[in-house]
Amino acid sequence: MQTEIAPRPVADADAEIKLDARHVNFFYGDFQALEDASLAVQARRITALIGPSGCGKTTFLRIFNRMHDLTPSTRATGEVLLDGHNVLDPDTDVIQLRRQVGMLFQRPNPFPKSIYDNVAYGPHMLGWSKSRINDIVEQSLKDTGLWDEVQNRLRRSALNLSGGQQQRLCLARALAVEPQVILMDEPASALDPIATLRIEELMQDLKKRYTIVIVTHNMQQASRVSDFTAFMLMNQRRAGEVIEFGPTDDIFNRPKESRTEDYITGRFG
Amino acid sequence: MATTRTLFDQELAELKTGVLRMGSMVEQAIAESMRALVDRDNALAKEVIARDQDVNELHRQLRERAFMIMATQQPVARDLRLIVSFQHMVLELERMGDHAVGIARAALRLNDMPQLKPYIDLPRMAEITESQVHEILGAVIEADQDKARMIAERDDEVDVLYRRIWQELVQFMVNDPQTVERAAILLFLAKDLERIADRVTNIAEDVVFLHTGRIVELS
């Protein structure tokens, strides 16, 4: 008798989809950078976008909170539904969108202000009360594991923190406005291995409350931290496409597409 | 698409060659241990026992090599499955080599005593297990999971023969206490062959895993 042991269950057909990108195309002027890209991002899970340089990962990520609006002559078509609302609609309140969908960049970019002011900046702009701001600053710094390290020097410049601390401060700044989704664009690429691991551990804590999408060049990082992975590649027209999307376990152990396997095994070139 | 991991591919190929070399050494050890019994050839039995050191040494080298590749190349997907499967396969082959030594040691003891009975089912059992070992190495080379599954199914034939031999030898012991020592040695010998067939099934499971990424139970 031959019995198959059931594989570990992963994808849940009834899972809550937080962000749903459907047939997204993106253009820098006449150049198409993204073609027909679709991705259903599950709530309170970490989704990684991987692929070689120039495949449109960061472009795709920046569409989710309309960061591309800041670049002239860009255009996005298709739909990106955040809880059912198409964020690409012209009537979308972009300020509100970016509050709901926060972002962490490749290099830590704290404001040249105090640690406290960095985290309080967003809540202050939202007009929150002083006591509420104090509470959220403390909570955000605790959520990012910084509180114990900085509670006695909250009024000192954020620029005096180490690179890893600065990146966690930027994360605290994003958390302070109570987002639902956090976009991370290679958040650990400028950090040393220990600071990188701290960010990765934080992500595991944060995913209990937030939906996270991360772009990373580091495939070990994608396999370590994410629940789902999308592999992207440039097509013959040099536009980025989503080649394969699925549970990270499948993408890194049993990819369906030979192009995915070639890339993750380092045979792509 | 151009290959960018030439050195890595070369290391994997060398690992695979090593596994197959170990497989053929074990295959030879099983065949010669049985011949030492049937032909009552003590010199051959001693050769099988001595050569097990070579199998053990190759096993050690291949484990080190696999560990080194994993540590330095961070393999994933098929590459990772290949190395993990090879690590398991060489362990199974090493144990098969130990079973061949068990058969050779049994032969040495039995060859000093009058033959209990004509050997009929034991050589038949050995023939099946030897062919299983040979064929499973072919399935490893070809990464042929269908072939591996078919080879694993032949374990049932070996089990049937083992049970028949077991009953017959127990009957010998019941009927004549003078036969107990020889029958007991033959029982252990038959058990060695039966375990070799089980280990072939384990390797067949590795071949399926290698191909599909799924861990299956074929026994």
**Cβ atoms of residues A104 and A188 within 8 Å:** no
**Cβ atoms of residues B209 and B77 within 8 Å:** no
- Given a cut of 70, is residue B209 above it in pLDDT? yes
**Cβ atoms of residues A122 and A99 within 8 Å:** yes
Residue A148 exposed, middle or buried by CB count within 10 Å (0-12, 13-18, 19+): exposed
ipTM over 0.90: no
**Cβ atoms of residues B190 and B165 within 8 Å:** yes
What's the CA gap between A151 and A167, in Å, rounded? Answer: 17
Mean pLDDT of the residues in chain A:
92
From the list A2, A259, A266, which residue is nearest B5 (CB)? A266
List CB contacts (< 8 A) between B3 and chain A.
267, 269
Q: What is the pTM of this model?
A: 0.81
**Chain A: closest CA distance from residue B40 (Å):** 38
Q: Please tell me which residue of chain A has the smallest CA distance to B150.
A: A2
Q: Residue B1: pLDDT band by 50, 70, 90 thresholds?
A: very low
- Given a cut of 50, is residue A7 above it in pLDDT? no
CB atoms within 10 A of CB A11: 12
Q: Residue B5: pLDDT band by 50, 70, 90 thresholds?
A: confident
> Do residue B81 and residue A252 have CB atoms under 8 angstroms apart?
no
List CB contacts (< 8 A) between B75 and chain A.
265
Give the position of tokens 């019995």: A3
Which of A199, A197, A134, A206 is closest to A169 using CA atoms? Answer: A199
Q: Residue B180: pLDDT band by 50, 70, 90 thresholds?
A: very high
CB atoms within 10 A of CB A81: 16
The per-residue pLDDT for range A59-90, each reduced to its tens digit, is: 999 999 999 998 999 999 999 999 999 999 99
Burial readout A231-269 (b: 16 or more C-beta within 10 A, e: otherwise) = bbbbeeeebbbbbbbbbbbbbbbbbeeeebbbbbbbbbe
Q: What is the pLDDT of residue A269?
A: 46
Contacts (Cβ under 8 Å, ≥6 apart) of A224 = A200
- Given a cut of 80, is residue A226 above it in pLDDT? yes
> Do residue A264 and residue B74 have CB atoms under 8 angstroms apart?
no
What's the CA gap between B22 and A211, in Å, rounded? Answer: 50
What's the CA gap between A132 and A139, in Å, rounded? Answer: 10
The per-residue pLDDT for range A42-64, each reduced to its tens digit, is: 999 999 999 999 999 999 999 99
List CB contacts (< 8 A) between A218 and chain B.
none
List CB contacts (< 8 A) between B217 and chain A.
2-5
**Cβ atoms of residues A192 and A164 within 8 Å:** yes
Better-predicted residue by pLDDT, B219 or A73: A73
Q: Residue A191: pLDDT band by 50, 70, 90 thresholds?
A: confident
Q: Give the whole-number percent of chain B exceeding pLDDT 70.
A: 98
- Given a cut of 70, is residue A100 above it in pLDDT? yes
- Given a cut of 70, is residue B218 above it in pLDDT? yes
From the list A4, A264, A267, which residue is nearest B1 (CB)? A267
Count CA atoms within 13 Å of residue A30 on its CB side. Answer: 0
Average pLDDT over every residue of B22-47: 97
The per-residue pLDDT for range A121-149, each reduced to its tens digit, is: 999 999 999 999 999 999 999 999 999 99
List CB contacts (< 8 A) between A231 and chain B.
none
Residue B144 exposed, middle or buried by CB count within 10 Å (0-12, 13-18, 19+): middle
The per-residue pLDDT for range B92-150, each reduced to its tens digit, is: 999 999 999 999 999 999 999 999 999 999 999 999 999 999 999 999 999 899 999 99
What's the CA gap between A71 and A55, in Å, rounded? Answer: 18
Q: Give the whole-number percent of chain A exceeding pLDDT 90.
A: 88
DSSP H stretches of helix in chain B: 6-38, 42-73, 77-110, 121-142, 145-153, 155-175, 180-212
Burial readout A31-55 (b: 16 or more C-beta within 10 A, e: otherwise) = ebbbbebebbbbebbbbbbbbeeeb
CA A47 centroid distance within chain: 8
Q: What is the pLDDT of residue B219?
A: 78
What's the CA gap between B73 and B78, in Å, rounded? Answer: 13
CB atoms within 10 A of CB A3: 9
**Chain B: closest CA distance from residue A6 (Å):** 9
Q: What is the pLDDT of residue A1?
A: 46
Backbone angles phi, psi at B104, to 5 degrees: -65, -40
- Given a cut of 70, is residue A230 above it in pLDDT? yes
From the list A4, A219, A220, which residue is nearest B216 (CB)? A4
Burial readout A109-135 (b: 16 or more C-beta within 10 A, e: otherwise) = ebeeebbbbbbbbbbeeeebeeeebee
